[in-house]
């Protein structure tokens, strides 16, 4: 089948310019999604409880000029309106907002929006894209609280994270919430594309548990395909070696050697070329099997020089490595690589949106709203 290539139309200022989002979300997963969509140009109206607002407004320290940085981290490019959904007048106000919206996003406990007459079915708009996010779905898991830490625990992530079987560890950030927010963005954008082609909206549903099971990728597939149940391995990888944290003369560093060629180069720089032909280490599978012995040999050599020395020596040779940075050094690294990791709105410096679009770049138009706005 052949066709005629269409010339691109005129660029808009922002990719989602003209899209209006009625944002009934709080805390992290859904607010992260609506912020990303706002960065891409959508008009986002955040609905908050009068006098109290989003729970994260009180989640501090740390604070920036009296405001919780947790709230500020996921609520830029939004306008705020206070609506009491428990009142008839408030529900009518919400309906008026939804009437001019293209997208509704909510992450209340399942059944809450139905109680208010604001669920997808009750609204009865065939062109509306409606995104609902829950912890464990709207069926048998509807009454379970959807907290990231809880999902990390019951969803299996903590069982494979940490130094040993009796020391489960959560990730250092609410990673499941963030992943769910990103999946919500994908679902919403897909639904908008479908509406553009057909005129029909649809219901987009996500739950934290399903997102986590999908996001554990190789570990999940190892179970579904081979019945393998991962165990905590500290900083090691179940299928690659050396791929973990090593000591140096001054600070920890990571080696992430992904193939035999990189391993040979590593051995040459560390002045132990014999390791590359040792039957215990000659292939990746062999190195995984003898990872404890490999760690001892490599650690002895790496301890002789600072982490920066190894980084500067190994990186040009294509051996992935780097120091274990704190967040300040991580931002400094991004700055040194001209990645522009921050964005300024007025006197506020926030983390930049990582999406780079050549025709319709993200914009930073509005600081996170104060409750009285």
User: Is 262 within 8 Å of 320 (Cβ atoms)?
Assistant: yes
pLDDT at 9: 46
pLDDT at 140: 92
Is 0.85 surpassed by the pTM of this model?
yes
pLDDT at 373: 52
Locate tokens 């193939």: which residue? Answer: 259
Q: Is 250 a catalytic residue?
A: no
Locate tokens 């200022």: which residue? Answer: 13
Report how far apart, in Å, the C-alpha atoms of 198 and of each of 18, 22, 195, 201, 271 are: 18, 22, 5, 8, 64
pLDDT at 318: 94
pLDDT at 2: 34
User: Is 280 within 8 Å of 293 (Cβ atoms)?
Assistant: yes
Could you tell me where the DSSP H helices lie in the chain?
A: 29-39, 69-73, 88-99, 112-115, 120-123, 148-154, 175-198, 208-215, 217-226, 260-269, 284-289, 291-302, 307-314, 327-336
Catalytic position from the list 177, 207, 260, 338: 177
Low-confidence ranges of the chain (pLDDT < 70): 1-12, 373
pLDDT at 165: 78
Report how far apart, in Å, the C-alpha atoms of 361 and of each of 20, 70, 143, 352, 368 are: 18, 25, 40, 12, 20
Cβ-based neighbour number of residue 357 at 10 Å: 13
pLDDT at 12: 61
pLDDT tens-digit series, residues 21-74: 999 999 999 999 999 999 999 999 999 999 999 999 999 999 999 999 999 999
User: Which 3 state secondary structure label does DSSP give 112?
Assistant: helix
**In whole angstroms, what is the distance from residue 252 CA to residue 324 CA?**
6
User: Which 3 state secondary structure label does DSSP give 191?
Assistant: helix
**In whole angstroms, what is the distance from residue 314 CA to residue 297 CA?**
17
| Greatest extent of the chain over all pairs of C-alpha atoms, in Å | 78
pLDDT at 7: 40
């Amino acid at each position: 089948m052949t066709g005629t290539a269409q010339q691109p139309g005129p660029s808009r200022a922002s990719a989602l310019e003209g899209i209006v989002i009625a944002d009934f979300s709080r805390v992290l997963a859904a607010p992260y999604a609506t912020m990303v969509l706002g960065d891409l140009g959508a008009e986002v109206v955040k609905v908050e409880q009068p006098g109290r607002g989003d729970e994260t407004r009180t989640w501090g320290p740390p604070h920036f000029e009296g405001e919780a940085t947790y709230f500020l981290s996921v609520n830029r490019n939004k306008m705020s309106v206070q609506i009491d959904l428990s009142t008839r007048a408030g529900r009518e106000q919400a309906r008026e907002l939804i009437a001019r919206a293209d997208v509704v996003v909510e992450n209340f406990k399942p059944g809450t929006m139905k109680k208010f007459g604001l669920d997808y079915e009750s609204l009865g708009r065939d062109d509306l894209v409606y995104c609902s996010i829950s912890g464990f779905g709207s069926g048998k898991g509807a009454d379970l609280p959807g907290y990231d830490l809880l999902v990390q625990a019951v969803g299996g992530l903590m069982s494979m994270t940490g130094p040993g079987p009796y020391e489960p560890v959560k990730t250092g950030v609410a990673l499941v919430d963030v992943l769910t927010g990103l999946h919500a963005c994908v679902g919403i954008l897909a639904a908008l594309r479908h509406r553009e082609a057909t005129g029909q909206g649809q219901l987009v549903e996500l739950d934290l548990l399903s997102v986590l099971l999908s996001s554990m990728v190789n570990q999940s597939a190892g179970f579904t395909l081979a019945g393998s149940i991962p165990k905590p391995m500290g900083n090691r990888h179940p299928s690659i070696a050396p791929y973990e944290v090593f000591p140096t003369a001054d600070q920890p560093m990571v080696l992430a050697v992904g193939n035999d060629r990189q391993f040979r180069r590593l051995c040459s720089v560390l002045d132990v070329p014999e390791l590359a032909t040792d039957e215990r280490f000659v292939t990746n599978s062999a190195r995984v099997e003898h990872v404890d012995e490999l760690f001892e040999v490599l650690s002895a050599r790496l301890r002789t020089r600072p982490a920066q020395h190894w980084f500067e020596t190994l990186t040009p040779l294509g051996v992935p490595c780097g120091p274990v940075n704190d967040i300040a050094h991580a931002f400094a690294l991004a700055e040194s690589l001209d990645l522009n990791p921050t964005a300024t709105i007025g006197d506020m410096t926030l983390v930049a949106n990582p999406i780079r679009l050549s025709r319709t770049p993200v914009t930073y138009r509005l600081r996170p709203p104060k409750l009285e706005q």
